[in-house]
Amino acid sequence: MLVLGIETSCDETGVALYDSDRGLLADALYSQVAVHEEYGGVVPELASRDHVRKALPLIEEVISKAGVGRGEISAVAYTAGPGLVGALMVGATLARGLAMGWGIPALGIHHMEGHLLAPMLEPDKPAYPFIALLVSGGHTQLVRVDGLGEYKLLGESLDDAAGEAFDKVAKMLGEPYPGGPHVARLAESGDPARFTFPRPMVNRPGLDFSFSGLKTFTLNTLAQNGGRDNVDQQTRADIACAFQLAVVDTLVIKCRRALQQEQLQRLVIAGGVSANTELRERLSAALAKIQARVYYPALRFCTDNGAMIAYAGCQRLLAGDTERADTAVRPRWPMDELAAPGAA
């Protein structure tokens, strides 16, 4: 089965072709970072317009790179939610139109399921069951995964997601959007011993997260040291370092707790924040101590991309999933409402 995947949930247009026998044949990605950077965040209307401009050319590019004919494509998978409603509608409308014109099925995919399954694109893929840490700009969740569509939400952020906290702290420090990579680079030259930030909710039972208070602690620390306009570069780096370590330690502690609670030894981490080098190093070291292992997608598949949607669509279609003609996009779509393959 050859599946065309289309991802348009936010500010990146991703397209890919995945074959059930040959694997990933081709993919392409267009990022809108330059479009939204001057606004300090994603402007939904501008995002939708850019998807309209870029999606079809990317589809043509991917088909050409793969060296296949349109008649060889078996199905079209697209992101149906969660995400920005206008951006989702662009991808859904295009995918359904192509599928109708080509006489093949279309299938809406849950964005976070795509991220969760992205490590399956790698040669060394995890076996079920495993724990997944989904950590991106809009989500921080721990999920038990027993199979395709068999998900149990164990914990999630009660306020800001980790990625959102990174972006907001970057703005406090005068760094551009998107903030995560800039905070990480700034932290590299920081002194980890200068400031000690709290690790939120690690002393409470359970697997939920909260990063709003950590964001406030960062703001107060910045104010106590002169504020953004007066603080020196080294202090900015030290604050970035302390913030990043607090987030990373919190994630690591909760991941270890989830693995021990569920008596599992495999962890998948996916989403944009999974590209963070400090997080990868500390997770690998911490899990090695409990004879557990962590799996990641390739760096280029950590952020939103078409390959994860094509893969997820292919697996669901092979498992018997179909889509009704009146299926709607879902800007909000809790993981626990995601049906198993073939379910009515």
Q: Residues annotated as binding site?
A: 111, 115, 134-138, 167, 180, 276, 304
Of 92, 7, 87, 82, nearest in space to 42 by CA? 87
Specify the pLDDT at position 326.
Answer: 61
Q: Residues annotated as binding site for substrate?
A: 134-138, 167, 180, 276
Cα separation, 226 vs 143, in Å, equals: 41
Q: Is 23 left (phi over 0), alpha (psi -120 to 50) or beta?
A: left
Q: Alpha helix (H) ranges present in the chain?
A: 33-36, 44-66, 85-102, 111-117, 162-172, 179-187, 212-224, 233-262, 277-288, 306-318
Of 248, 243, 286, nearest in space to 267 by CA? 286
CA distances from 231 to 171, 172, 192, 222, 228 (A): 14, 11, 17, 8, 6
Query: Strand 23-31 and strand 12-19: pairing?
Result: antiparallel
Specify the pLDDT at position 269.
Answer: 95
Cα separation, 182 vs 87, in Å, equals: 26
Q: Contact, 211 vs 164, CB < 8 A?
A: yes
Specify the pLDDT at position 29.
Answer: 98
The tokens 């909000």 sit on which residue? 332
DSSP string, 203-223: TSSSS-B--HHHHHHHHHHHH
Cα separation, 225 vs 57, in Å, equals: 49
Specify the pLDDT at position 337.
Answer: 87
- Alpha carbons within 13 angstroms on the beta-carbon side of residue 266 total 14
Mean pLDDT in order along the chain per 10 residues (344 residues):
98 98 98 90 95 98 97 98 97 96 96 95 96 90 95 94 93 91 96 96 95 95 92 97 97 97 97 93 95 95 96 96 81 87 70
Q: Residues annotated as binding site for Fe cation?
A: 111, 115, 304
3-state secondary structure of 333: coil
DSSP string, 59-111: HHHHHHHHT--GGG--EEEEEEESS-HHHHHHHHHHHHHHHHHHT--EEEEEH
Q: Could you tell me the strand order of the sheet in which 130-135 lies?
A: 150-156, 140-147, 130-135, 266-270, 293-295
For 323-336, the pLDDT digits (tens) are 866 678 999 998 88
